[in-house]
Homo-oligomer: A and B are copies of this chain.
Amino acid sequence: RILRFLHHFVRELPEPAMMERGVGELGVGTYGELATTTYDMPLIDALALFLRHRVSALPVVDADRRVLDVYAKFDVINLAAEKTYSNLDVTIFEALQHRTGKQDKVHTCLATDSLRHVLETIVRAEVHRLVIVDTENRIEGILSLSDMFNHMVLKPVENDV
């Protein structure tokens, strides 16, 4: 049954109009209720946020909600591997100094960016998520690979059921 809906979906997908619409307008991503952290938050409070909200990453914002970085579960695991994990009183800023591997800038997009543009950014950057910001770099939402997948594969199926 799922297969039948997927087949139906296939005929719908290469609809160029949808690909050119803004992700905000399409409702792809999470807007409004966001779990975020700050540079001066103790790591232990950030871990509590991961546990409470069951998210895979926390955008790091300043007092004006401007996006500075992203602190992800991967960074927690990374810190554990660095054996500096035992001190959970370190701040997120300090914890981020231990980050090894690619020191990417934070990848963002605008809610008005087209689904096509966002898709290409995620693939090119090889990241799990983009932070959605306004033109002043203030946080508006999060758009993860799973949101994209759900919109492109799962949602067309569910709409049909």
Query: For the side of the interface on A, what is the size category?
Result: 35 or more
Say how many copies of this protein the assembly contains: 2
Q: Which of B44, B77, B123 contacts A3 (CB 8 A)?
A: B44
**Pair B145/A77 contact, Cβ less than 8 Å:** yes
CA A128 to CA B146, docked complex, whole Å: 13
**Pair B47/A153 contact, Cβ less than 8 Å:** yes
**Pair B48/A2 contact, Cβ less than 8 Å:** yes
Q: Is A14 an interface residue (CB 8 A)?
A: yes
Q: Which of B48, B73, B83 contacts A14 (CB 8 A)?
A: B83
Most buried by B among A6, A44, A77, A87: A77
A10-B86, A13-B86 provided; 7 other pairs, C-beta below 8 A?
A: A6-B44, A6-B47, A6-B88, A10-B88, A51-B154, A51-B157, A77-B119
